[in-house]
Structure 1
């Protein structure tokens, strides 16, 4: 795989995965139900917390610019067994988050756009089709995938900025903005609103942090494509940080606009798709539908990047001969120059997860909860590893935290501990079951793998030899492709 991605492509991958359109459209209704309109004020705090994590990941990407991000970093710095565990958890996350993202199109946007009644059955069929289309694009061409994503990210930027400006402007001139609504708790009692909760439940305001925690994840996908990026040690950290900052600011402005407008639209609180309902009510059906189409494009782009990232992770682990079916999954197709088998595998996993979750009446909540829990675990493990091993890391190749390293690590640690404690709430029982089942499957495979091949089979290349290893891998792939052609 050639290094052909520049800064905008790297930024687009990070921005496209995070996708504020996807996250807000998916979780806003849940935030209104559990935290009320006031819950949107948890967003700025979430942005700061996730930014601290992005800075840590940037420091790692500048030292170890290789595909597979946390799997590769933990394998080389802590040990291959821990790295494998991190890789498997990352695989479980990417498998469920692509379904959560694509399910948003089928369950919240299309019913409003085309005015039909959404059901679990039609949401399942539509989501399955979207997952398949994304896999076909990723399998066909990496270059085409990035072109589609770049165009979609540009459309998302333009669309979300236009949507936010129009909501403020039209809402102001028509008297549909109610800024007092930003501070109301809605159906949630005022008493105990900021409380921490009990042993099996989190407080109302604490639950509001899931809006930012679910939305602002995936920025590290830029690091997962390090082997295809020009000057990755400089480009990737910059792209990740800029993506989180721009998304944080734009997302908060959009939340302010949509929440202020919802205060004067009585049907918004009862709507299954409150964001779409408010947009249509304020901007009219024609403009509203045009902007909803842009949102669909943005969400599709998000799922496309997730599919690409998941495929690259499976390929990276298979290349190291430690993923189930690695002999097939490590192959690069000679014509498309993409890991075709790994792409088909990720698509199949997504379809299975979709079939499991889609029969639930609250499938979207279960999906986004699982897709929030897993990255929090991944981030916590990676930050902990960096904290312990930071003095033994190879030198930076383009980005360093410098004197801010310790404050950033403290902030990231406090934020992640608080975020993980939210998931003690009983409403997250389904996501925990998913996590435990997937981890159980992974544990069985790892035990069999070690029993058959020994721990020596998990040995990773030395950190100082990464470029040499990658050059050798590239030469082997080219030789294999030439041999196939002959």
Structure 2
């Protein structure tokens, strides 16, 4: 094995360009799948209703702030471990390990909802509605999708990027056509379900309460989640220091436009009742009414391709995070192996696919609503690792703030605001989803021995990571002996191109035993 530094892991350098970084970032977020799986749940949040587009606008703000943190951390250290490596540098090895765990756990958990949607929409594509309502049939097809996408991730990053370009182009074109046709029909015909069109849907102050806004934002965070996958392939990208980071910012900007327009059109046509009562297949129901048969298959294909593409691009960052953790000496060395033939982390990729399949089977036994409970649970983990990436950026760039007002703002103030916003969302969401969440209509499954399911999966998963870390302290002593809070980027990290990006002196040295 080679070292843990960027460019030393055996991945294929310069394999993909800037456009592919943007494509992977947007495709990993899976706009069609995210809307199909989440929009109905946002509308159903007590106090939100048809103000869902406003929630998506507000949810975009912390995502943009954290995207800048990703861009600046990537300038200094284009490590495929992203948040794990950066939080380790900025906040120390213990926080870094738990952050890496949060990325892996969130990606594995979301595979359940991705596979569920892929399974359902596979049957809907062929009009087999009885099979789409049969748990074992949907589960079987979902497992097949996980296996196929794991195989594609193993055999090469170029095939990944090429597949994503085709799938994403078709997906966005279909969503744009849906939004246009839906709004035209609402404007010129009598649609019984249409509540009319109101610009108040874009006004965050129209939401009934601050708490309703925060609960909606937790789901909004999930719907935006995934743009960081374009950064996770930084070591395989051209202009590794700058390209992936810029792609992260551009990805969030593209996503907010897609989400606001499509959600606005969907509820303008379907209304609140249709969206909340078909929360697990919003777009298939609306697609049938908006397009009619057989064109309604276009939207089903868009959601199916979106879910399958996101399955693929979710495995990518998970495998690269575990690869990086292994190379840093924080996980078993086997996870750090890279295939000399495919130049991909084969052991990590196959392991993540297999673990995701096992989790998918388990969560079907635990939850009555795989989509609803998984989306909420993952929101806690996303808020955790996105937030601490922002905080790590603040610490890591502290020596550059005095260089200019711009440095102080983009490398200090913006990431800190992102961290604060996500911390507030995490705390308030725990109060609502974790205390009598099922009784108050927030959760979809009865508590498990008194613990609400989203909290059991989301926060319980984070606690499990902390406990697991305790067992790794001794075998991975070298990694955990790094001194926290002392490493920092130099001002040259903000030059173009970045040079001498980190202080590599005593501050980065290991603590003597």
What TM-score range do you get, normalising by the shorter chain?
Answer: 0.7 to 0.9
Q: Who is 2:381 aligned against?
A: 374
Partner in structure 2 of residue 189 of structure 1: none
Gapped regions of structure 2 (runs ≥ 5): 1-10, 438-442, 444-451, 501-513
Q: 1:86 Cα shift?
A: 1.3
Q: Which residue of 2 aligns with 1:50?
A: 63
Normalized against structure 2, the TM-score is what?
A: 0.80
Shift of 1:45: 1.0
Count of residues paired in the alignment: 451
Equivalent residues of 1:91, 1:314 under 8 A apart: yes
Q: How does 1:428-467 map to 2 (within 5 A)?
A: 429-455=452-478, 459=482
Query: 1:266 Cα deviation (Å)?
Result: 7.0
Cα separation, 2, equivalents of 1:68 and 1:456: 15
Q: Which residue of structure 1 lines up, in the alignment, with residue 334 of structure 2?
A: 328
**Residues 132-178 of structure 1 deviation map (CA, whole Å, 9 limit, x = unaligned):** 11101111222211211122122222222222222223443333384
Secondary structure class of the residue paired with 1:387? helix
Q: CA deviation at 1:231?
A: 0.7
Does the 8 Å contact 2:219/2:379 carry over to 1?
no
SS of residue in 1 equivalent to 2:277: coil
The C-alpha deviation readout for 1:288-310, integer Å capped at 9, x for no partner, is 11222122112211111111111
Question: Does the C-alpha gap of structure 1 residues 446 and 361 become closer, same or farther in structure 2, counting only changes over 3 Å?
Answer: closer
Greater shift in the superposed pair: 122-131 or 241-250: 122-131
Question: Displacement, 1:120?
Answer: 2.8
Match of 2:182 in 1: 167
Given that 2:386 and 2:419 are in contact with CA atoms closer than 8 Å, whether structure 1 keeps it comes out as no
Q: Structure 1 CA distance, aligned partners of 2:98 and 2:399?
A: 21
Cα distance change, pair 107–37 in 1 and its aligned pair in 2 (3 A): farther
- Deviations along 1:162-200, one digit per CA (max 9) or x if unpaired, are 222222234433333845465899xxxxxx96234xxxx
Separation in 2 of the partners of 1:455 and 1:148?
40
Confirm or deny that 1:154 pairs with 2:177.
no
Question: Is the Cα–Cα contact under 8 Å of residues 377 and 459 in structure 2 kept in the other structure?
Answer: no
The alignment's TM-score, normalised by the length of structure 1, stands at 0.84
- Match of residue 100 from structure 1: 113
Q: What's the secondary structure of 1:285's corresponding residue?
A: coil
In structure 1, how many angstroms separate the alpha carbons of the residues matched to 2:119 and 2:197?
29
The structure 1 residue matched to 2:139, chosen from 103, 118, 124, is 124
Match of 2:12 in 1: 2
Q: Distance in 2 between matches of 1:257 and 1:410?
A: 34
1:209 Cα deviation after fit: 2.2
Alpha-carbon distance between aligned partners in 2 of 1:381 and 1:38, rounded to the nearest angstrom: 29
Shift, 1:453, TM fit: 5.0
Secondary structure (helix, strand or coil) at the match of 1:232 reads coil
State the Cα distance separating 1:49 from its structure 2 match.
Answer: 2.3
- CA shift, 1:458, in A, is 5.2
Cα offsets for 1:242-292 (capped at 9, x unmatched): 1111110121011111100013x9755533523321221121021111222
Q: Which residue of 1 aligns with 2:361?
A: 355
Q: Compute the RMSD of aligned alpha carbons.
A: 3.2
Could you say which residue in structure 2 is the equivalent of 1:229? 237
Residue 393 of structure 1 deviates from its aligned partner by: 6.8
Deviation at 1:229, TM superposition (A): 0.8
Q: Does 1:29 align with 2:40?
A: yes
Find the aligned partners of 1:8 and 1:363 in 2 and give their Cα distance: 33
- Measured after TM superposition, the shift of residue 457 of structure 1 is 6.2
Unaligned runs of at least 5 residues, structure 1: 186-191, 197-202, 469-486
Whether contact under 8 Å (1:31, 1:39) holds in the other structure is yes
Shifted more, 83-92 versus 428-437: the winner is 428-437
1:476 match: none
Deviation at 1:388, TM superposition (A): 3.3
Please tell me whether the aligned partners of residues 153 and 315 of structure 2 are also in contact (alpha carbons under 8 angstroms): yes
Q: CA deviation at 1:432?
A: 2.1
The 1:456–1:154 alpha-carbon spacing in structure 2 relative to 1, beyond 3 Å, is closer
C-alpha change, 1:328 and 1:239, in structure 2 (3 Å) is same
- 1-structure distance, mates of 2:41, 2:480: 45
Stretch deviating more after TM superposition (147-156 or 384-393): 384-393
Q: Following the alignment from structure 1 to structure 2, what is the Cα–Cα distance between the partners of residues 104 and 221?
A: 20
The reply to whether residue 143 of structure 1 matches residue 165 of structure 2 is no
| Residues 123, 232 of structure 1: alpha-carbon distance in 2 compared, 3 angstrom cutoff | same
